[in-house]
Structures are given as C-alpha cells and as structure tokens.
Amino acid sequence: MSVISLIGIWLAMTISAFLLLEVNLWLPENSNLISMARFTLGKTGAAVMWIAYLALLYALLSAYISSSSDVAYGFFKMTGFKISPTHGTLLVTLVLGSIVYRGIASVDLFNRALMSAKLIIYVLIIAAIAPFVKTTQLFAGQPKLLISTLMIISTSFGFNIIIPSLRSYFNSDAKKLRLAILIGSIIPLVFYILWIAVVQGALPTHGPDSLMQMATSRHVTSDLSHSLSHYLQNTWITTLAHAFTSICSITSFLGVSLALTDFLSDGLRWPKYGNHSLWLYAFAFLPPLTIVLIAPGVFIETLSYAGIFCVTISMLMPALMVWRGRYHKKKISETHRVWGGKITLLLIIILAVVLMGGQISSYIF
C-alpha cells in the first residue's frame, strides 16, 4: 500500500510539474512562482502563492529542526552526555544556521560532501538490511492509516518549486527540461521504495520498538536507529542508520533554510549580508525555532502541515494557472503542452482538493 501511494503521488506531482513548466514557458526566463501566479490568477493568486510558499518553508524548516535536534539528542545519549531537548534544539539551529549565514558557497560545499556520503551509506544500509527482510512483513499494516500519510508523502516530491531555476539552467530547452523532471523524480521514487521495503520488511509492525510505536513517538529519527539495533543485532547497521538519518536531516535543513532566506531576501528586499542581514535570518529561523521549542518532536506533525501547502503550490495552483492561461488568456506554448486537456486539469484539481480536505478534516475530527 505504501508503494502504491508513493507511485500515485509521484504521478500526480510529476504531471503537475509539467503543468508548472508549461506556465513558466509562457513568461520570460527567471520568472518565479509569484510572477506566474500574478500573470495567470491576478493579485489574489499571487497572495495565495506568497502565503502557501512561506508557510511551506516554515513548516518544513520546523520539521527539519525537530529531526536534527532528535539526531543530536540520540548522539549525546549514545555518548553518555546528557543534554536537554531545548539545549539540543538551540545548538543545532545555531550551528547549522551559521553555515547558511556564511552563504551559498558554504552550503554548497557542505552539502556536496554530505550528499556523497549519504548515497554511499544508503547503498550500504540497503545491502545490510536486505537479508533480514521478511516478505510477510511487507503486506502488514492498517489501511485506515494510509490517508494520514499521503500529505507526508507529497512533501517527498515537492521538487516543483525549482522548475523556474531549472529553466534558466537549461536555457529554456523544453526537451531537456521534461527529461530532467522525469528522471529527477523517478530516482527518488526508486530510492523511497527500496527504503520502505527494507525497513518495513525488517521491523515488526506491532510491539516494543515497532513501526506502530515509532508512529506515535516524539523521537522518530533516533527510535528508528534503536529499533534496527534491537532487532538486527548488528552495530554496523545501527551506526550506518544513525549516520544516514543524521545526514538526511542536516541536508534537508540546509536546503530549506537557503530557499527560505533567498525567498525572504527577494520578497522583502532585505540584504543577505552585512549587519542588516541579521534581521533576515532572525525572521527566517525564529518562527520555526519557536514552534519546535514549544512542541518538541513535531517532525511528523509539521510534515503533514507542510503537505497541505506543498499540494497547494505543486498541484492545485499549477492546474489552476494552466486552466486560466489556456482557456481565458489563450496562451499557447510552441515547445511544451501537457496532454489531456481539461480532463487532466480537473483530475489534478479534484485530487488536490480531496487530499487537502482529508488532511484538514483529520485535524477537526
């Protein structure tokens, strides 16, 4: 069921990415999401995009501060050094925030090293855990829990926001852009499926240190490493899993932080460097930091909130913008047009509304 959900969300997000590309090709290069929304949907559309984009990045940053803090908590616990969740959160934000403050060159250098290490560790983990997989475990689970995970899965394919940057990089070559979107989305899909297969196949669904127990835990990241250690009795796997989850949290934090500070700097016309830039970074880090300090361990919860805004930006808005552009402004791209006409657009809009409605109703009821 997890694999079916992943493939379904991947397909919808990829089609929506092609829709977003169609809108972007109507406008000059370097046109961002706000410009696209303003052109097709007017000031109201631009305002919705502003709010959704900012809320998405704040929610994601809250999730990754929470996850990185959990990693730090688990690390200090392993070394026998006691640290409170509050101090761990402040320490992580200060250290990683200082890397972002040094600029994109520092983030790029740091991320390249971490991403290379992450890929190697990922392959080693898959190879190490695979012999412990029980095929019966792959079909365990509770279907009623599936709906609550769809929004979290959607954040795993939130690559649409970089399409305007990709267009500039590929000099508006529609063929290369379509290929980049397709291959760039299939690679993580395969990685996610393999990861779910080995973790779900190796760990029990119920009981102590189980997947169900982790689902309600405030320390999901460190609990995963602990569960693998407990059931597989292999210290190497535990070390690799802890290193992998740690790197995932850090790279996600750096990427989202960089996107958020760039967005705020551009939108508010605030400098990214110099004495006045401290206000920019305070505006970027203080809201999500406050959320995590008030409610530690909100990794999964904030990802579900982020999913609402991710679906808004990456599914609902692209379909609405294409509809408005094609059938009201009569815009036609000579190099790229998504197939399916109004049927495709309606299906994407309906799916986005159902996903968001289901998630919002879960908060109410």
Q: What are phi and psi of 109, to 5 degrees?
A: -65, -45
2-364: CATH topology is Amino acid/polyamine transporter I (1.20.1740)
**Residue 308 near residue 359, CB atoms below 8 Å:** yes
How large is the average pLDDT for residues 332-353?
91
Sorted by sequence, the CB contacts under 8 Å of residue 286 that are 6+ apart come out as none
Q: How confident is the model at residue 22 (pLDDT cuts 50, 70, 90)?
A: very high
Q: Quick one: pLDDT at residue 346?
A: 97
> Could you tell me the end-to-end alpha-carbon distance of the chain, in angstroms, rounded to an integer?
24
pLDDT of residue 191: 93
pLDDT digits (tens, 9 = 90+) for 301-318: 788 788 899 999 999 999
pLDDT tens digits for 280-300?
899 999 999 999 898 876 777
Q: By C-alpha distance, which of 64, 85, 73, 91 is closest to 258?
A: 64
Position 258 confidence tier, pLDDT thresholds 50, 70, 90: confident
| Backbone φ, ψ for residue 164 (5° rounding) | -60, -35
Q: Where are the alpha helices (DSSP H) in the chain?
A: 2-26, 33-79, 85-101, 104-129, 146-155, 163-169, 174-202, 211-215, 220-232, 235-268, 277-294, 299-311, 317-327, 341-364
Write down the domain spans for the chain.
2-364
Cβ 166 vs Cβ 156: under 8 Å:
no
Burial (Cβ within 10 Å: 0-12, 13-18, ≥19) of residue 90: middle
For position 220, what pLDDT does the model report?
Answer: 77
Long-range contacts from 277-280, C-beta under 8 angstroms, 24+ separation? 277/101
pLDDT per residue as tens digits for the range 50-84: 999 899 889 889 988 988 887 787 777 777 777 78
The predicted model gives 100-116 an average pLDDT of: 86
Mean pLDDT score of the chain, rounded to an integer?
Answer: 87
Rounded average pLDDT over 13-31: 92
Q: What is the DSSP string of 238-294?
A: HHHHHHHHHHHHHHHHHHHHHHHHHHHHHHHT--SSSTTHHHHHHHHHHHHHHHHHH
- Those residues whose C-beta lies under 8 Å from the C-beta of residue 6, and which sit 6 or more positions away, are 153, 156, 189, 192, 193, 196
% of the chain exceeding 90 in pLDDT: 36
